[in-house]
Amino acid sequence: MAIAALVFDAYGTLYDTQSVQTEAERLCPGKGELIAQLWRMKQLEYSWLRSLMEEYRDFWEVTGASLQFALRAAGVEPDGFISTRLMDNYLHLDPYPEAPEALAGLAGRRLAILSNGSPKMLDALVQNSGLHRWIETAISIDVARTYKPHPACYALVEQALDVRRRDVLFVSSNGFDVAGAKAFGFNVAWIRRASAEPAGEGLVDPTAFYRMLRGRAEELGHAPDYIVSALTDLPGLL
């Protein structure tokens, strides 16, 4: 496969958005798991709502608004201390354990990020995690003033890296992002981190519910070219 650049989604692909759960549980005992799942689901929903309403706000503001929703939905009245500590977590998300090894294994290739994150968020996250050693550039959709999966977001890759879409391998664990990138014309690898088992009988916990909703391929007719279980599988594709 002739690939000129590998472009990674950030949140949920290189970085574990669920790593906020530890701090959420410390600040809100017994509710950390629920808050973490609600926060991420509402964060994505608000990005799509902002796009459809054509009322763009950067991802820091979207993330803050979705946190307020999640806290109140979980029965926690937001205050400055809790909100500040949890928002700061988004600048220090844990990379997935295999991310450094995978990126090191791809050394010599052009590696970039395309993310909903604002420039401030991405710059801090990439530096704080140490992944800046391998990432050439972190491209924010902020320039397009809309959110993935809008085609204008993926078009930023061609402009920033001076590559053709057919020469890009786009890597994401998010089904909506996979569908959007494939519809745009990228080669796409889906990181299927965990299988989403069908619901059994009885109540479903928040994490299982999130996996059922976000851990499956979307039924939109834009299947990925490759399905792998970890970032370290990528060098084998090339």
Catalytic residue numbers, as ranges: 9
Report the distance separating Cα 62 and Cα 60, nearest Å: 5
Given the structure tokens 């078009």, which residue do they identify? Answer: 155
Report the distance separating Cα 23 and Cα 99, nearest Å: 22
Q: Decide if 174 contacts 12 (C-beta within 8 A).
A: yes
36: which residues sit within 8 A by CB, 6+ positions away?
Answer: 17, 18, 20, 21, 24, 206
164: which residues sit within 8 A by CB, 6+ positions away?
Answer: 4, 158
Q: What is the CA angle 109-112-114, rounded to 5?
A: 150
Residue 203 to residues 67, 196, 207, Cα–Cα distance (Å): 24, 16, 12
